[in-house]
Amino acid sequence: MGKVGDMAAGCAVLLIDHEDHVRNLAAQILRRRLGCTVDVASSLAEAKALMAARPQDAPYFAAVADLHLPDAAPELIISTLIHAKLVVIGITDQYDKSMRNAMLMRGVADYFTKCNNQIYRYVADQVRQLWLNRGKHALVVDDSAATRNLVKAWLERQQITVHLAGNGSEALDVMSASADPVHIVVTDCHMPGMDGFELVSQLRRKYGREHLAIIGVSSSVDPTQSARFLKQGANDYLNKPFVYEELCARINQNLAMLDIFATLRDQAERDVLTGLHNRRYFYDRVAAKAAQPLVDGRGIVVMMMDIDFFKRINDNFGHPAGDAVLCHVARLLAEHYSDALVARFGGEEFAVILTELPQVAKARAEAFCNALQASTIAHDSHLLACTISIGLCQTPGMPPLSMLSRADALLYEAKNGGRNQVRCSA
């Protein structure tokens, strides 16, 4: 959950606006920018009919609702949509403070005014962020229970799961005990025991800025507080008292930045063609994979694989055909070794490390060889086929990188021995 790519399949948005030209333009923008289902209604009655007709196992995620409809007052529009458990984004013709207060009191996640032609771009970005936030966890640290609970309620409206702590020591305990990673911490400055500054310092010893965002908060009039928080390692700073919109904007901006870091990191660690991890990622993680606890007599297994006669495929059918074969092999590897670390090493070579019983590891490798040989790859007007040779090292006590070298030597034995086979170290 929470991935942008999931939106097309899992997200549906209900757009309500009584003006035809606005509704059509807004729907076009939302569909293009979100890539998901966007249904439209011109009145609350039409919206209710669409909600009733929506499958129960696939309800609307959010409603983008003009609050000036011909058949309902703003309060009824909001209460109806909130009661249906939709995330509500209100749209108004102009900013009005009383309207703003009424929307927020009734649980609207956000609101926008029709101030320019770009507004529905911003709305789409906010819907996307709210969708992504469903998988996000925040930790709110404050010695005031009232403040903690208020911020918790506000962030939950942004679809974020919220954890609470009364001081820095409690916060560290929550971070250690949480089964899910915490993505963002909002911490007050002055608290009994460990204060916010020390908490930030402690957190930064374990979590980098690209993995955990921290927002420092203080009611102090001292202008150096913000600089002190930032120099300790905070990503952002807020002065108390802050309003709902400012807090949510800072939270979402920092979460969006974490997602950008994660995307860049993933792109750097994956092979562009096949989507498997690349050689660098494999080398970075192989020691950690090998250090995982072993149970039931299983041991570390390292395999090197090479597609047989791959150059002939490129020479006879062209490089696009070769790419299709590589992607096919990668998909089969991901299916057969979903419990393992699988990487494309380069060219037509792949590497796998897993923990397995010796006899089972060999049987699985041979089953993969057979599955690949029995499969075909459709490319243009051709049905392509290929086989693979595998070197498998399962020598107990050998360092992982030495096992990799041994598996590579065994791979060449498999090649020289006739290809389409598995050669094992034992």
Give the per-residue pLDDT at 1: 39
User: Would you say 111 and 82 are in contact if contact means Cβ atoms under 8 Å apart?
Assistant: no
Hunting for tokens 């070579």 — which residue is that? 349
The CA distances from residue 179 to 84, 158, 160, 168, 259, in Å, are 30, 21, 15, 19, 20
Measured from the Cβ of residue 76, the count of other Cβ atoms closer than 10 Å reads: 13
| Location of structure tokens 């057969």 | 336
pLDDT for 4: 53
Separation of alpha carbons 125 and 71, rounded Å: 29
Measured distance CA(171)–CA(155) in Å, rounded: 17
Query: What are the C-alpha distances in Å from 76 to residues 52, 70, 82, 170, 237?
Result: 17, 12, 10, 42, 37
Would you say the C-alpha torsion 159, 160, 164, 165 has a positive or negative sign?
Answer: negative
Per the DSSP assignment, residues forming a β-bridge with 390 are: 305, 422
Query: Tokens standing for 280?
Result: 């660098």
Give the list of residues 6+ apart from residue 373 with CB closer than 8 angstroms, or none: 385, 387, 420
β pairing state of 341-346 and 277-278:
parallel
Question: Which domains does the chain carry?
Answer: 4-132 (3.40.50.2300), 135-269 (3.40.50.2300), 277-424 (3.30.70.270)
CA distance linking residue 1 with residue 35, whole number of Å:
16
CA–CA distance, 152 with 162 (Å, rounded to integer)? 6
The residue assigned the tokens 């930064």 is: 204
Q: How many other C-beta atoms lie within 10 A of the C-beta of residue 357?
A: 15
* Opening angle at CA 115, ends 114 and 118, nearest 5: 85
Buried b (16+ CB within 10 A) or exposed e, 157-179: bbbbbbbbbbbbbbbbebbeeee
Cα 288 to Cα 211, 293, 349, 398, distances in angstroms: 19, 10, 22, 14
Mean pLDDT by 10 residues, the chain (426 residues): 65 96 94 96 98 95 96 96 97 90 94 88 96 96 97 97 97 94 96 96 96 95 91 96 96 96 94 96 88 82 97 95 97 96 96 93 97 95 95 90 95 96 91
Q: Which H/E stretch holds residue 351?
A: strand 349-356
Q: Which two tokens stand for residue 134?
A: 């469903």
Secondary structure of 119-149 as H, E, C letters:
HHHHHHHHHHHHHHHCCCEEEEECCCHHHHH
- Cis bond upstream, residue 241 (ω within 30): yes
393 token code pair: 């090292």
pLDDT of residue 296: 81
pLDDT of residue 5: 53
CB under 8 A, 24+ apart: contacts of 20-23: 22/66, 22/114
Please state, in angstroms and rounded to a whole number, the distance separating the CA atoms of residues 352 and 407.
10
Q: Supply 118's token pair.
A: 């770009």
pLDDT at residue 3, as a whole number: 55
Burial of 105 (0-12, 13-18, 19+ CB in 10 A): exposed
pLDDT confidence of residue 2: 42
Q: How far apart are CA 410 and CA 16, in angstroms?
A: 64
DSSP-based helix, strand, coil % in the chain, nearest 5? 50, 20, 30
Terminal Cα-to-Cα distance of the chain (whole angstroms): 42
Length of the chain: 426
Distance separating alpha carbons of residues 123 and 22, to the nearest angstrom: 14
Residue whose token pair is 């993505």: 183
